[in-house]
Amino acid sequence: MSLPSLAELEKVGGAPVLARLDLNVPVRDGEVLDDTRLVAALPTLRWLTERAEVVAACSHLGKAKGAPDPAYSLAPVAAALESALGRPVRFVPDCLDPANDAGPGSLLLLENLRFHPGEKANDPEFAARLTEPYSHYVNDAFGTAHRAHASVEAAARSYPRGRKAAGFLMEREVAALDRVVEEPEQPFVAVVGGAKVSTKTAPLEALVGRVSSLLIGGGMANTFFLAQGLEVGRSLVEEEMVGTARSVLAAAAKRGIEFVLPIDVVIADAIDNPKRVDVVASDAIPADMMVVDIGPEARARYREVLSAARTVFWNGPMGVFEVADFAAGTLAVAKALAASPAFTVVGGGESVMAVRQAGVIGDIDHVSTGGGASLQFITGESMPAIAALES
In the complex, the residues that contact ligand ADP under the rule CB under 6 A are: 194-195, 199, 218-219, 236, 291-292, 315-317, 319-320, 322, 348-351, 371
| Amino acid symbol at 193 | G
Q: Residues 20, 37, 164, 299: which is the catalytic one? A: 37
Min dist CB 30 to ligand ADP, Å, is 26
Chain positions 287 to 306 lying near Mg ion, rule: CB under 5 A, are none
Active site residue 349: yes
Q: Is 351 annotated as a binding residue?
A: yes
Write the DSSP symbol of residue 72.
G
Cβ contact 389:158 at 8 Å: no
Omega prior to 187 cis, within 30 of 0: yes
Sequence-ordered strand ranges (E) for 74-201: 90-92, 106-110, 136-139, 164-166, 188-192
Active site residue 37: yes
> Which of ligand ADP, Mg ion, none is residue 316 near (CB under 5 to 8 Å by kind)?
ligand ADP
Active site residue 372: yes
Tell how many helices (H) and how many strands (E) occur in the chain.
14, 17
Q: Is 147 annotated as a binding residue?
A: yes
Q: How far is Cα 41 from Cα 226, in angstroms, rounded to an integer? A: 43
Looking at the Cβ atoms of 156 and 346, the one nearer to ligand ADP is: 346
Sequence-ordered strand ranges (E) for 155-263: 164-166, 188-192, 213-216, 258-260
Q: 259 in helix, strand or coil?
A: strand
Q: Residues 51, 179, 234, 372: which is the catalytic one? A: 372
Looking at the Cβ atoms of 213 and 315, the one nearer to ligand ADP is: 315
Q: Residues 161, 196, 301, 356: which is the catalytic one? A: 196
Strand duo 164-166 + 136-139: pairing: parallel
Min dist CB 314 to ligand ADP, Å, is 9
Looking at the Cβ atoms of 195 and 277, the one nearer to ligand ADP is: 195
Q: How many residues does the chain have?
A: 391
Min dist CB 323 to ligand ADP, Å, is 8
Which residue has the closest beta carbon to ligand ADP? 194
Write the DSSP symbol of residue 287.
T
Q: Is 350 in the site for Mg ion (CB under 5 A)?
A: yes
Active site residue 276: no
Decide: residue 356, CB within 10 A, 0-12 exposed, 13-18 middle, 19+ buried: middle
Cβ contact 112:64 at 8 Å: yes
Looking at the Cβ atoms of 133 and 349, the one nearer to Mg ion is: 349
Task: List, by residue number, the catalytic residues.
Answer: 37, 196, 349, 372
**Residue ranges of the binding site for substrate:** 22-24, 37, 60-63, 114, 147
Q: Which residues bind Mg ion (CB under 5 A)?
A: 349-350
**Residue ranges of the binding site:** 22-24, 37, 60-63, 114, 147, 200, 322, 348-351
